[in-house]
Amino acid sequence: MKKANKIVIVVILLILIITILLICKLITQKNNSIKKENNLAINIQTQNNATEVFSNIAKSGQMDWKIRLVNKENPLPEDFEVELENIDGTRKFDKRAIEPLKQMLKDIKKQGITNVWVQSAYRSIDYQKNLYQKSINKYLKFGISQEEAEKLTEEYINKPGTSEHNLGLAIDFNEVDEGFENTKAYSWLQENASKYGFILRYSKDKEEITGVKYEPWHWRYVGQEHAEKMKEQNLCLEEYVNSDSLI
């Protein structure tokens, strides 16, 4: 009889322990869900604020061309033009920023890092249209919908007019893949690019804010002053144009 009572007590204790563990798990899941929703709301608000700030600056005529925000919410106007200069025989860049870019490329090679090159720089709207459509067509061949094909494409390729390459201030290095982060060139850029006015535009920890997947190969010119501040404060461009750093 005593043995039976002990077994009942042990079973009851086990049930209580399991119940408590389940309750704790549910509470943790709920808290994580609330935290995730709050972070998402903050990121959306950051994007909206950045768009509003950028629009106000543009309307006031006080826009700094170096930190012009170009993304899905801030497309370039149809009449946008930029004066270009050659980086090499085929690639072009905004003439106002060509010297810092050339100096950066020169200095990185002085360090013995020769296996680095600019794969892509300025792209015309027409070129961007072709690039965008080619990617969509590639996904459509796998039998997925047009909507899903566009969604997958826009993880890495922006719609024409919403790409920084159309702006003339962005460059892609080497093979344009994540393997670039394992190169000496990437390490050097992480350490020194801001001195020449360049930033890693789409970092891994800012994906929810920029709306673009991590791109270690994509670097954007914003000017030395802005680049140094953004690096010091760990801000992406969307956050920076909405921060006190511009005041």
Check which CATH number belongs to the domain holding 178 and give it: 3.30.1380.10
Does residue 10 sit within a domain? no
Domain membership of residue 7 (yes or no) is: no
Predicted pLDDT at 59 = 39
The residue type found at 158 is N
91/93 Cα distance (integer angstroms): 7
Domain containing 180 equals 63-246
Better-scored residue on pLDDT, 6 or 202: 202
pLDDT at 119 over 90: yes
Q: Specify if 8 maps to a domain.
A: no
| Percentage of the chain exceeding pLDDT 90 | 67
- Return the pLDDT at 17: 84
140 part of a folded domain: yes
Where residue 57 falls among pLDDT bands split at 50, 70, 90? very low
Residue 2 lies in a domain: no
Residue 130 lies in a domain: yes
Six-digit token pair at 69?
A: 């925000």
Min mean pLDDT across 52-61, 140-149, 212-221 is at 52-61
Q: Is the model's pLDDT at 43 over the cut of 60? A: no
**Residues ≥6 apart with Cβ < 8 Å to 148:** 139
Catalytic residues: 215
Residue 235 has pLDDT above 50, yes or no: yes
Please say if the pLDDT value at position 45 is more than 60.
Answer: no
What pLDDT score was predicted for residue 20?
84
- pTM strictly above 0.85: no
Of 41 and 193, the structure prediction assigns the larger pLDDT to 193
Banded pLDDT at 7 (limits 50, 70, 90) = confident
pLDDT given for residue 32 in this prediction: 64
Any domain includes 102: yes
Look up residue 222 and give its two tokens. 């914003």
Closest CA to 235 of 245, 224, 223, 247: 245
pLDDT at residue 1 is higher than 70? no
Task: Take residue 123 and report the two structure tokens written for it.
Answer: 């792209």
Report the pLDDT value the prediction gives residue 245, as an integer from 0 to 100. Answer: 66
226 secondary structure, DSSP code: H
**Domain annotation covers residue 35:** no
**Which pLDDT band holds residue 118 (cuts at 50, 70, 90)?**
very high
Q: How many residues does the chain have?
A: 247
Number of domains in the chain: 1
On average, the pLDDT of the chain sits at: 86
Query: What percentage of residues in the chain have a pLDDT greater than 70?
Result: 82
The mean per-residue pLDDT over the stretch 186-197 comes to 98
Whether the predicted pLDDT of 19 surpasses 50: yes
Residues 6+ apart with CB under 8 A from 31: none
